[in-house]
Amino acid sequence: GQLNVLAKLAGKKYFGSAVDNPALADLPYKRKLSDIAEFGQITASNTLKWETVEAVRGVYNFTGGDELVALAKKNHQLFRGHTCVWHSQLAPWVEAGNFGAKELTSIIEDHCSKIVGHYKGDIWDIVNEAFEDDGTFRKTVFYNTLGTEYFEIALRVAHKADPKTKLYINDYNVEGLNAKSDGYYNLIKALKAKKVPIDGLGVQGHLIVGRVPTTIRENFQRFADLGVDIAVTELDIRMELPVTPEKLEQQKKDYATVIRACKAVRRCVGVTIWDYTDKYSWIPGWFEGEGAALPWDEFTRAPLVSLLFGAS
Ligand code: G3I
């Protein structure tokens, strides 16, 4: 079955894929990415990060983002912006300036309102990777200067720039119940209590074959009960190479575990894979000897794992 079709039949809003602009020169790749039966949503995997979009203070470069938005529009796909406030791939001037609280606040406000305002309409990861795995706040320039206030600053200004955009905070290792997802639970609860606009938790889903958490569904459900949506935003399930039939079999089960959890929780709105083919996966570049994390192999031929949105 085709993934977006199956996701919709399961009551979800979309099945999607991340994409980075250089890959669009690969026409068979682009053709598959543009197939609405497979992908109802695309995420900008690099081009809207701070270092690219505002490399120089106050000078915005929307070229890459505009290319992806135009493609999504043409294909009738939803678009996910990624990401406003993140300590990584951050423009060096933001840290180098040693700004005080007041100035950093206006820097965040300018940045988030410009980009969310430019890309009105769909979905944004407003804050990315704000916690450590032990559940404490990550000591970024934003946290060190503003404390937890920066969540509120970014979310409020994004909402003002476009009240229709769905605003998420997004992280890895928050799939199951653990100290880090507890941190998000408490944060979202506090934001809600203060009436700060927050629509969802993005659960990245960078997982390892055979090591998928067993409490995904319970975790998703507790966020749903708090009154926010959940989206799986960057799913890939890597393995140690070489690929074997056994590992692929386990991987298929692992994908199904994640998809089933999303199916089971009404407020889990959709699943996005972090690109759809191993040809453009970030994994081999980051984890030596690992790969084959995505449903399509590097020839972009057939999915090696069937993502069983239709199955029970
Ligand atoms: O564009 C340059 C190219 O000119 C140069 O020749 C090449 C040599 O290394 O590097 C290229 O830049 C790379 C860029 O991806 C584009 O391919 C960077 O080195 C590389 O660090 C960067 O990696 C990205 C990574 O975020 C950085 O943190 C990955 O593509 C991207 O998929 C990944 O995405 C993150 C999400 O944003 C947040 N969650 C985790 C996820 C995976 O790390």
- Read off the pLDDT of residues 4-50 as tens digits, 9 standing for 90 and up: 999 999 999 999 999 999 999 999 999 999 999 999 999 999 999 99
| Cβ atoms of 146 and 106 closer than 8 Å | no
Rounded CA-CA distance 166/230 in Å is: 11
* Helix runs in 54-148, H state only: 63-75, 92-96, 101-118, 141-146
pLDDT digits (tens, 9 = 90+) for 169-191: 999 999 999 999 999 999 999 99
User: Identity (one letter) of the amino acid at 71?
Assistant: L
Tell whether ligand 1 has an atom less than 6 A from the beta carbon of residue 234. Answer: yes
In a domain, 243, yes or no: yes
pLDDT tens by residue, 262-306: 999 999 999 999 999 999 999 999 999 999 999 998 876 666 666
Q: Please report whether residue 153 resides in a domain.
A: yes
Ligand 1 pocket member 52 (CB < 6 A): no
Query: pLDDT at position 312, please?
Result: 42
Q: What domain range is 50 assigned to?
A: 3-291
Q: Residues 195-217: what's their mean pLDDT? A: 98
Å from CA of 227 to ligand 1 middle: 33
Phi-psi region for residue 83, left (φ > 0), alpha (ψ -120 to 50) or beta? beta
Ligand 1 contact via 89 beta carbon (within 6 Å): yes
The question of whether 249 is a catalytic residue gets the answer no
Residue 298 lies in a domain: no
**pLDDT tens digits, residue range 62-106?**
999 999 999 999 999 999 999 999 999 999 999 999 999 999 999
199 C-alpha to ligand 1 centroid (Å): 27
Residue type, 192: K
Helix (H, G, I), strand (E, B) or coil at 105: helix
Does the residue 89 lie in any domain?
A: yes
pLDDT score recorded for residue 311:
47
Per-position DSSP letters for 133-191, written without gaps between them: TTSSBP--HHHHHHTTHHHHHHHHHHHHH-TTSEEEEEESS-SSSSHHHHHHHHHHHHH
pLDDT given for residue 297 in this prediction: 86
Nearest Cα to Cα of residue 38 among 67, 8, 70: 8
Tell the residue nearest (CA) to atom 29 of ligand 1: 282
302 within a domain of the structure (yes/no): no
Report which protein residue has its CA nearest ligand 1's atom 15.
46
Residue 88 beta carbon below 6 angstroms from any ligand 1 atom: yes
What pLDDT sits at residue 305? 65
- Give the number of domains in the chain: 1
Ligand 1 centroid – CA 298 distance (Å): 18
Is residue 305 in some structural domain? no
CATH number where 89 lies: 3.20.20.80
Rounded to the nearest 10 degrees, the angle between the axes of helix 179-193 and helix 216-226 is: 10
Is 164 part of a structural domain of the chain? yes
> Model pTM?
0.96
Q: For residue 187, what pLDDT is reported? A: 98
Residue 85 lies inside a defined structural domain of this protein: yes
Residues 201/255, Cβ–Cβ less than 8 Å: no
For residue 30, the tally of other CB atoms under 10 A from its CB is 14
Query: Ligand 1 mean position to 166 CA, how many Å?
Result: 25
Stretch 205-211: mean pLDDT, rounded? 98
Examine the pLDDT at 260 and tell me if it is beyond 70: yes
